[in-house]
Amino acid sequence: MLTPENVQTLAAELAEAERTHGVIPRITARHPEATVEDAYAIQGVWRDAQLAAGRRLVGRKIGLTSKAMQQATGITEPDYGVMFDDTVWSTGAVLPFERFSNVRIEVELAFLLKEPLEGPGCTLIDVLRATEYVTPALEILNSHIELEGRTIVDTISDNAAYGAMVTGGVPTRPDQLDLRWVSTLLYRNETIEETGVAAGVLGHPATGVAWLADKFHEHGARLEAGEIILAGSYTRPMWVERGDTVFADYGPMGTITCRFD
């Protein structure tokens, strides 16, 4: 495992990389002894520094919950990170491309909690009962660690590669439709690049939220009412460049669009 000094140093490196929109060498290349626990410790130090600087936590993201994403990254274990208030955008937004590194888009559903969720043994039904509504969301990946050879330790340390979220479409109560069958067409500059069905996330997107509640319980924590939880992508990540327009069609749940300038 890493020393506390290593954890502090790496968290500071990642904070500086975010500030400068840069990329640092792989942690696992420099510290092959680093564990998943070390990675969450790095993320936690980085998170606490951001909170101390005045950012406000609004939710959590879950990653690598579908076969599509696991195959795309070569990582087979889910992970999670935090979302701050200054990373949430609404459909139609024009996003500054230079704010992000290694910019990619994922198709997801976001759960707004009306009640706390706590493990152990949190179930899909528990998640649906605790959810105020589900809304379409695009996650913007923002990697500050070099991608080649990256492992789950690198990804978790880097706040699970979360950069921003764009929400839109029609917020829907979870009892109004079978969330497994939510499907999405993802376009870049009017060309379909990816398609997917939400059941690709662990059989049901709410299962990812239940997994996260159980993970939090291991650390004596819970998901709180009012938090937004991104359940994980059910398509592969789509690369975007400056000037690209992104459009996601969720059928009856509406659409999301954004542009990178």
Q: What is the pLDDT of residues 200-223, one digit of tens each?
A: 998 999 998 998 999 889 878 899
Rounded distance between C-alpha atoms, residue 118 and residue 12, angstroms: 31
Task: Tell me which of 60 and 73 has the higher pLDDT.
Answer: 60
Q: What beta strand segments (E) does 149-249 contain?
A: 162-167, 183-188, 191-197, 228-230, 238-239, 245-249
**Confidence label for 79 from pLDDT (cuts 50, 70 and 90):** confident
Structural domains present in the chain:
57-260 (3.90.850.10)
How many CB atoms are located within 10 Å of the residue 205 CB? Answer: 30
Question: Mean pLDDT across the chain, nearest whole number?
Answer: 94
| pLDDT higher than threshold 80 for residue 68 | no
Question: pTM surpassing 0.75?
Answer: yes
CB 213 within 8 A of CB 117: yes
Q: How far apart are CA 101 and CA 9, in angstroms?
A: 21
Higher pLDDT, 127 or 79: 127
